[in-house]
Amino acid sequence: MSAATQTSLDEILHSKQVPSLPEVALRIVEISQQPEPDTQELIKTVRLDPAIAGRILKFANSALFGLRKRPTSVEAAVPMLGTTLVRTLALGFSLAQQSRSTDTLKARFRQLWRESLFQASAAEALAERVTGADAPTWFLAGLLQDIGQIAMLNVAMAEYDEHVLQPVADESRLQLEINHFGFSHVDVSAGLCTAWGLDPEIVAAVTSHHKPVRTINPKACSELKVGVAAAASCSEYMDALGTRLESTRSDVEKYLIEGYGCLPDELQVLLAEMDRRAVELASGFSVDIGSAPPRNRILAQAQSLLRRIAMENKLASCSGVDPVATSQNNRSTDAVEDTEGNEPAEWKELLDDDRANCNRRFLDKALPQELAKAHGIGETVGLLKIDFADANIQSQQDANQPVAASEILELVTNSVRPTDNVIRASDTSAVVILPGLSYDILNRIAARIQGLINERLDLIDGDASSALVGGVIVMPEGRKPLKSDKVLKVLEESASQAEKLSATRVAFQLLLGKKAKQLAPIG
């Protein structure tokens, strides 16, 4: 399309079809952003628009908020909800009614609104994990950060659909927008938020929410702009699952695990809860997102597939054999491919007898690779040794029917990321390699694994027969990566130290160069 006929940013921002706010909503924004908002003035303003007033009261009485005392009037609801939440609801109600949905593009509008509501839900859920964060503000920023997509579809329907939403390409939606229009929905979203008088913090967050993630600073995750970027990453992953179950979730893991303290076995549950909440919000805002079935089953399938792909990649790397049968190009979205029993002979040498876990020979090959890779990018490597020998003996004595080691290893596998290496080191122990995680997260993972094993075997945490975990964190130092023999020696020392503890039975050491340092227990 030529520049003369191509829709411009100015045309979109000033179009009558672009989402706009009624005067009452704009006044609500203005009042809520005052240093000391006047609650009575806010109540009077809300009452000027019966539709907004009615919806706010309905929302306040819904299960979405779970207020102990249900308000019966706007005068009671506004103080209970607070000024920032009232602002969020007023804007949400106003914008939700302004999509120019047509029969041909109804599915597109449904898709974009579901994504926006998911991002709002995700941002709110993350705010609840941050001390002092204002959840309604995070919710609003999450809701508005992609409002530019809905605006662009409202104004340039066929053009936006043809050049951005229809193409199936490796390029992101953002890049497709820039390729065709010369600007993106981020520019539109930021322009609208500025025009509506929203505070600069929200505008800045909207402007930067698609910047690529490299490293995560947990302290920075208390900032709104990081929170909405994390919400956008979660939304992109959920959207990608619709066509590719094997879509990477590495950015999601970085944000949720490293930034917001979500343990690996909580991640799938948290994403499913965000999605469930988004569907509820659609009903509350009267937004049409279609039938919108829950995506928890898809999340479970995706996690299982990612785990299988990761194991195949590790086996290929360690054995030097990468058969065509393990190609990732034709993964089904309906079921996880079952290749068990068809592994190359070189792979079988690296697997235990039931082929569910890697063995000690795999550890000897994989650990040097992980140490070298992490050293090259300046990343830490964490190792855990989980010993359940005494726990298994106790289980046999108490139940006369010992829990199989494979069950314990499955608990361990489900407690870490799909890409982490879980190795059956012996009949009664496992080693896990977890790159790039902090001591705090590693310690919490160790405690979770220990607790799950003890619960499965009906043992008391800290008892002499309970499971123990030794850990080591390898920091990159010097020109060459550490030898795996040195790392494993320190790991064994940590396991021995854990055995001597009477409370947690979890012990960690930090390995910097060739020097090992005992780490103080957390929690």
Q: Record the tokens describing residue 421, joined without a space.
A: 């290496």
Name 433's bridge partners: 383, 421
How many angstroms separate the CA atoms of 229 and 238, rounded?
14
Question: What is the architecture, at CATH level 2, of domain 100-286?
Answer: Orthogonal Bundle (1.10)
291 — pLDDT class (breaks 50, 70, 90): confident
Identify the pLDDT of residue 419: 95
Name 383's bridge partners: 433, 472
Counting residues of the chain whose pLDDT is more than 90, the rounded percentage is 62
How many angstroms separate the CA atoms of 360 and 382, rounded?
17
- Which listed CATH number (3.30.70.270, 3.10.20.30, 3.20.20.140, 3.90.580.10) goes with 357-518? 3.30.70.270
Q: pLDDT tens-digit profile of 440-499?
A: 999 999 999 999 999 988 887 777 788 899 999 999 988 999 999 999 999 999 999 999
239 — pLDDT class (breaks 50, 70, 90): very high
- Please tell me which residue, 213 or 346, carries the higher pLDDT value: 346
Q: Which amino acid is at 305?
A: L
Please give the distance of CA 125 from its chain centroid, rounded to a whole number: 11
pTM of the model: 0.88
Q: pLDDT tens-digit profile of 372-403?
A: 999 999 999 999 999 987 655 554 445 555 56
Identify the pLDDT of residue 390: 63
CB 410 within 8 A of CB 356: yes
Q: Record the tokens describing residue 515, joined without a space.
A: 């020097």
- Pairing relationship of beta strands 468-475 and 421-426 according to DSSP bridges: unpaired
How many angstroms separate the CA atoms of 23 and 327, rounded?
57
Alpha-carbon torsion, ordered 222, 226, 228, 233, to 10 deg: -130
What residues does each domain of the chain span?
A: 12-98, 100-286, 296-350, 357-518
- Asked if pLDDT for residue 123 goes beyond 80, the answer is yes
Counting residues of the chain whose pLDDT is more than 70, the rounded percentage is 91
Identify the pLDDT of residue 508: 98
How many angstroms separate the CA atoms of 355 and 362, rounded?
12
Identify the pLDDT of residue 417: 97
**Other beta carbons less than 10 A from residue 200's beta carbon:** 9
Vertex 466 angle, CA 357 and 427, to 5°: 30
Identify the pLDDT of residue 334: 42
99 — pLDDT class (breaks 50, 70, 90): low
Q: Average pLDDT, whole number, for the chain?
A: 88
- CA–CA distances in Å: residue 298 to residues 236, 242, 245: 15, 8, 8
Name 469's bridge partners: 386, 506
